[in-house]
Amino acid sequence: MFKGLVGKRVLVTASTKGIGKAVAKEFLRNNAKVVICSRNKGNLMNALKELGNIGEVYGTVADIAVYNDIERLVNFTLEKLGSIDILVYNTGGPPPGTFQEIGLDEWEKATRLLLMGAVWITKLTLPYIIQNKGSIIYLTSVVIKEPIDNLILSNTVRLSIAGLVKSLSKELGPYGVRVNMVLPGATLTDRIYELMSVMARKRGVSVEEILKEKASTIPLRRMGKPEEIANAVVFLASDYASYITGVALQVDGGSTSFVF
């Protein structure tokens, strides 16, 4: 169990599958109260049924790339939980592709999803997080440290979150608010299968072969599990990380080459 999470009110976005759901589940296991969301009602209902067996969880349909949906999500959270102590901003990834392949409309969509959604929800939840001396954690990617081929949108737009985290950690530190980000590496989710499938088609090989090849490049010789990313997120939100703010925590099995 992580220290200091009993009764905490947590909002986790994009949280009905993969890493987001694993994060919500770990907070519930630590006796926090959680609100989840998804664009897909079916996914939301399935996640609520599963997570409801663990603890107090609520959920609503919301597209975090749409301001009105985020505003409604925050109001829903306040209605169900009364306030917000912890915000975990998680998103799906933008489509893969090179600069020459990606159209301008995809750039706009990626900016709304990866940056503006983070800005909007932070603006709306911040008064409550300041009041509660809470915590903000952004789930991003190791591309912040080391760009990945064929992910021009993620490589570019996600870097803005690094600037946001460092700026907010300095601005909000005096209020007792901590702001951090977690950088997952290759993790066994639907997203990694999507990316590996694109590579497999381009090379004319099986997805299994690409996955095995990818795992062989990671020092731990395997890909991560969503639960391992969730543990890092919940640790940063807990009292065990009470003097940690402004950090970019890689959870990548040692795959990132940069030394800083």
User: How many domains, in total, are found in the chain?
Assistant: 2
179 in the same domain as 60: yes
- Of 20-24, 56-60, 154-158, 252-256, minimum mean pLDDT range: 252-256
193 in the same domain as 167: no
What pLDDT, on the 0 to 100 scale, is given for residue 231? 98
Q: What percent of the chain has pLDDT over 70?
A: 99
Asked whether residue 97 is domain-assigned, the answer is yes
65 in the same domain as 138: yes
83 in the same domain as 34: yes
In the structure, what pLDDT confidence band is assigned to residue 146 with cuts at 50, 70 and 90? Answer: very high
What pLDDT, on the 0 to 100 scale, is given for residue 112? 96
CA distance 252 to 112: 26
141 in the same domain as 110: yes
What residue type is 8 in one-letter code?
K
In the structure, what pLDDT confidence band is assigned to residue 260 with cuts at 50, 70 and 90? Answer: low
Across-strand partners of 38? 61
237 in the same domain as 214: no
With a cut of 80, say whether residue 70 has pLDDT above it: yes
pLDDT in tens, 223-241: 899 999 999 999 999 999 9
219 in the same domain as 180: no
Q: Which residues are CB-neighbours of 83 under 8 A, at least 6 positions away?
A: 9, 128, 131, 132
Asked whether residue 2 is domain-assigned, the answer is no
232 in the same domain as 219: no
196 in the same domain as 104: no
Consecutive H or E run containing 242: none
Which phi and psi angles does 82 have, rounded to 5°?
90, -35
Cα R_g (the chain), whole angstroms: 18
Q: Transcribe 135-202 into DSSP letters.
A: EEEEE--GGGTS--TTBHHHHHHTHHHHHHHHHHHHHHGGGT-EEEEEEE-SBSSHHHHHHHHHHHHH
**Cβ atoms within 10 Å of 21's Cβ, excluding its own:** 24
* pTM, two decimal places: 0.93
With a cut of 90, say whether residue 206 has pLDDT above it: no
202 in the same domain as 99: no
Which phi and psi angles does 112 have, rounded to 5°?
-65, -40
- Of 99-103, 164-168, 179-183, 203-207, minimum mean pLDDT range: 203-207
Q: Which residues are CB-neighbours of 74 under 8 A, at least 6 positions away?
A: 11, 84, 121, 124, 125
What stretches of the chain show up as alpha helix (H) in DSSP?
A: 18-29, 41-51, 67-81, 104-111, 117-131, 152-157, 159-172, 190-203, 207-216, 226-237
pLDDT in tens, 76-107: 999 999 999 999 999 988 998 999 999 999 99
Asked whether residue 260 is domain-assigned, the answer is no
**Domain encompassing residue 201:** 188-223
What pLDDT, on the 0 to 100 scale, is given for residue 259? 65
194 in the same domain as 92: no
Asked whether residue 23 is domain-assigned, the answer is yes
Asked whether residue 208 is domain-assigned, the answer is yes
Asked whether residue 1 is domain-assigned, the answer is no
Asked whether residue 256 is domain-assigned, the answer is no
59 in the same domain as 92: yes
**Cβ atoms within 10 Å of 143's Cβ, excluding its own:** 21
Asked whether residue 235 is domain-assigned, the answer is yes
Rounded average pLDDT over 100-121: 97
CATH number of the domain at 145, please: 3.40.50.720
